[in-house]
Amino acid sequence: MEEAIGLNIEGVRKKIHHGGTGELPKCISGSKHTGLYPIVAKSLRRIAEGKDPTDWHIHTCGLANMFAYHTLGYEDLDELQKEPQPLIFVIELLKVESPSMYKRETWALSDDEKLKAVPVLHGEGNRLFKLGRYEDATNKYREAVICLKNIQTKEKPWEVPWMKLEKMINTLVLNYCQCLLRMEEFYEVLEQTTDLIQHHPGLTKAYFLRAKANAEVWNEVEAKKDFEKVVELDPTMTRQVKKEITKLEVRMEEKEEEDKLKYKNLFS
């Protein structure tokens, strides 16, 4: 039994730079050559969903990944993995573009191209942040981080090339957290900054952003500890930290008065 699968089903439209539109060439593959197709198909589906196609799996063979996760997340791909079938690939040519017109997704770039794309994405994220388009900015920062993470996996941890990439990643993640603060995603800020601090305990900005997030969710003690750490790491921020602490104390006093009034009315 043969299974016909068009590339458009996977959410990926093939761009071919020759031939006429409307052509439907077919490629038939026997079952012995399609054992890894479900792994590829899952990556294609993740691309169509706007996700990194490489971050879902551990570094093992396809079957080992399936055993590790028990499923690929798609019932049809699970069945095909267990019992490989001959496949017919139908490629639909939608339009013709010159190579200079076709903009590839960042995951498909070479390492050099990814490195060149990062400052562009970073700058675009900063521009969107200034315009108040925080969600759009987070997408740019996230895309840049994915580029760097993909390159970083090929370097030895904690050696100079790896550390240079790590520094760039940290800067982007901190910018990402600034956007999250403006979007009032305080608990994600706490999660992201705590992860940064665990790996890089000298990141002053990470403590500062975590302190502000703690203040927003009424974690007064934790916020003050983080603010104190900021001053310890960078005494030039003393004045700014004092303003933040004063603002926090005023908010806590107001909240205490509101709570007293609320409970008073509740039991009166």
Per-residue pLDDT, 258: 83
Structure-token pair, residue 75:
């019932």
Tens of pLDDT, residue by residue, the chain (268 residues):
334 443 343 333 444 444 455 556 667 767 666 667 787 788 778 777 766 665 544 444 444 444 444 677 788 888 887 788 888 877 777 777 666 665 677 777 889 999 999 999 999 999 999 999 999 999 999 999 999 999 999 999 999 999 999 999 999 999 999 999 999 999 999 999 999 999 999 999 999 999 999 999 999 999 999 999 999 999 999 999 999 999 999 999 998 888 778 777 666 5
Per-residue pLDDT, 60: 45
Residues 62-90 as b/e (b if ≥16 CB within 10 A, e otherwise) read beebbeeeeebeeeebeebbeebeebebe
69: Cβ–Cβ under 8 A, 6 or more apart, which residues?
Answer: none
CATH architecture of 103-183: Alpha Horseshoe (1.25)
Q: Among 117, 129, 130, 235, which residue's Cα sits nearest to residue 177? A: 129
CB distance 199 to 162 below 8 Å: no
List helix spans (H) across 153-185: 160-182
Per-residue pLDDT, 38: 80
Beta bridge partners of 100: none
- Backbone φ and ψ for 202, nearest 5 degrees, come out as -100, 10
First to last CA, the chain: 76
CB distance 168 to 155 below 8 Å: no
Structure-token pair, residue 137:
């900015």
| Residue 151 CB coordination number (10 Å) | 20
Give the strand pairing for 26-29 and 87-90.
antiparallel
Per-residue pLDDT, 26: 67
Per-residue pLDDT, 50: 67
